Amino acid sequence: MAPYDASPVAFASLGLDTRLERALTERGFETTMPIQSAVFPAVLAGIDLVACAQTGTGKTLAFLLPLMQRLLGASGTSTRVLILAPTRELAVQIEDEFQGLAYHTNLSSVAVYGGVEAGPQERGLRGAADIVVATPGRLLDHMGTNAARFDALDVLVLDEADRMLDMGFWPSVRRIVASLPAKRQTLLFSATMSDEVAVSASQIMQSPKMIRVGRTEGLASTIEHIGRLVPGAEKADWLGKFLRRTEGTSLVFVRTKRGADKLARQLSASGIKCAALHADRFRALIATDIAARGIDIEGIGHVVNYEVPGSVDTYVHRVGRTGRAEAVGKALTLIAPEELTALRAIEKSLNVSFAVA
């Protein structure tokens, strides 16, 4: 898949519905980002599309805006767009973005995800919202009770498809797709384009157009990659000292929930104010990979890999929480001697240097 370069254009030049233009102006959007310029024509044309771009480049607006333009140009009383996302946090973000853009329109949406009461979601689904944003598991629950019907669906969007695969959701995605109209447009967005993503796309799409914007490995050029050699037993103390002299909020990744809880206790005991991902105004947020997938937290200046990630894709998604939307960010990895081999593998695959000290 060859790189696809698209120069920014003014939103005002796209011929959008005046209600959408007004919402964009009120939110301070003036020109498109490259992924948006690249995919708008394909989305509007109704063709299947696989789009790959690094995190924080505006993929959500890239598919929402042209789809909303199409919805405003056609009448209907059924759900016409289904967006599947791997996590509750991402589903909420997408729905929030939609609500902001739809403020001056009569378009409706409902977000469907686990961890909350199902009743309000069921009523929203039965109301046939124009757009449904859902996580696969909870949507299947609603489909089992016939609350969710997609007989008139025009478009299926799979956001962060690589995360969907990593988290084991693809069988659920396939079950959902099997119940959808065969004649539909399918849009797949991903930060990385592995062989597994390509094969999975081929299972549910018809000769899709392939677009990639940015670097192949999905790393933002705005991120500085740093490595520090620290014995495993000394990492918590080293991190505490680092956080005390670092301004802003840092997002710290560990592999397991137990590890996250332990590190949070250690940092709190040393006087570092830290909390779970949903909190704000903290010096540090401690997260596992699953908890952090798909979320967008403003003001993350540092991503800290407390342990070297076990895969290249995991590193890409972790560090993608900083350096977003052309902001500058730093990715710091603490490397125990026994983790050097894993680090070198990441360096080689991504063609980056960690400047290990």
Same domain as 166, residue 40: yes
- When pLDDT is averaged across residues 72-92 and rounded to a whole number, the result is 88
Looking at residue 227, its pLDDT comes to 92
Same domain, 136 and 258: no
Q: Tell me, what's the pLDDT at 277?
A: 54
* Same domain, yes or no: 205 and 317: no
Residues 184 and 301 in one domain: no
**Token output for 198:** 């390509």
What are the tens digits of pLDDT across the range 127-152?
Answer: 889 999 999 999 999 998 888 889 99
- Is residue 4 one of the residues assigned to a domain? no
- Residue 188 and residue 159 share a domain: yes
pLDDT digits (tens, 9 = 90+) for 112-124: 998 888 888 999 8
Assigned domain for 284 exists: yes
pLDDT tens-digit profile of 262-276? Answer: 998 999 999 998 875
3-class state of residue 269 by DSSP: helix
pLDDT confidence band for 2 (50 / 70 / 90): very low
Q: What is the pLDDT of residue 56?
A: 67
The predicted model gives 313-321 an average pLDDT of 80
263 domain residue, yes or no: yes
d(CA 307, CA 298): 23
User: What residue has token string 């948006």?
Assistant: 36
DSSP character string of 165-226: HHTT-HHHHHHHHHTS-SS-EEEEEES---HHHHHHHHHH-SS-EEEEES-TT---TTEEEE
Task: Report the percent of the chain where pLDDT is more than 90.
Answer: 43
Same-domain check for residues 205 and 237: no
Contacts of 293 (CB under 8 A, 6+ apart): 86, 87, 89, 90, 160, 163, 166, 167, 317
Is 253 within a domain?
yes
Q: Which residue has the higher pLDDT, 94 or 167?
A: 94
pLDDT of 25 strictly over 80: yes
pTM of the model: 0.67
Over range 300-304, report the average pLDDT.
86
CATH of the domain at 264: 3.40.50.300
Q: What average pLDDT does range 89-111 have in this prediction?
A: 93
**Same-domain pairing of 236 and 336:** yes
pLDDT one-digit tens code per residue, 329-340: 888 999 999 999
Q: Is residue 218 part of a domain?
A: no
Whether residue 248 is predicted with pLDDT greater than 90 in this model: the reply is no
Domain assignment present for 356? no
Structural domain boundaries, residue 303: 223-350
Quote the percentage of the chain above a pLDDT of 70. Answer: 89
Taking 70 as the threshold, does the pLDDT of residue 278 lie above it? no
- Tens of pLDDT, residue by residue over 13-23, are 999 999 999 99
Q: Which long-range contacts link 170-173 to residues 24+ away (Cβ below 8 Å)?
A: 170/200, 172/136, 172/137, 172/140, 173/84, 173/136, 173/204
Please check whether residues 208 and 227 belong to one and the same domain: no
Mean pLDDT confidence for 329-354: 88
Same domain? For 301 and 174 the reply is no
Among 180, 213, 246, the domain boundary falls at 213
CA-CA distance, 289 to 292, in Å (whole number)? 5
Overall domain count for the chain: 2
Task: Clarify whether residues 201 and 231 are in a common domain.
Answer: no
Using 50, 70 and 90 to split pLDDT, how confident is the model at 77? Answer: confident
Q: Is residue 286 included in any domain, yes or no?
A: yes
DSSP designation for 10: B
> Residue 216 class from Cβ within 10 Å (0-12 exposed, 13-18 middle, 19+ buried)?
middle
* DSSP assigned state of 289: H
> What one-character-per-residue DSSP string does 53-69 give?
E-TTS-HHHHHHHHHHH
Q: What confidence category does residue 224 fall into, taking pLDDT thresholds of 50, 70 and 90?
A: confident
Regarding whether 100 and 232 lie in a shared domain, the answer is no
Q: Are residues 243 and 208 in the same domain?
A: no
203-217, 240-254, 263-277: which range is least confident on average? 203-217
**pLDDT mean over 309-337:** 81
Where does a domain end: 188, 213, 238? 213
User: pLDDT-based confidence at 219, cuts 50/70/90?
Assistant: low
Amino acid letter for position 288: T
Q: Is 6 part of any domain?
A: no
- Cα radius of gyration rounded to whole Å, the chain: 21
pLDDT of residue 110: 94
Within a 10 A sphere around the Cβ of 178, how many other Cβ atoms?
9
> At which of 213, 241, 274 does a domain end?
213
User: Per-residue pLDDT for 202 more than 90?
Assistant: no
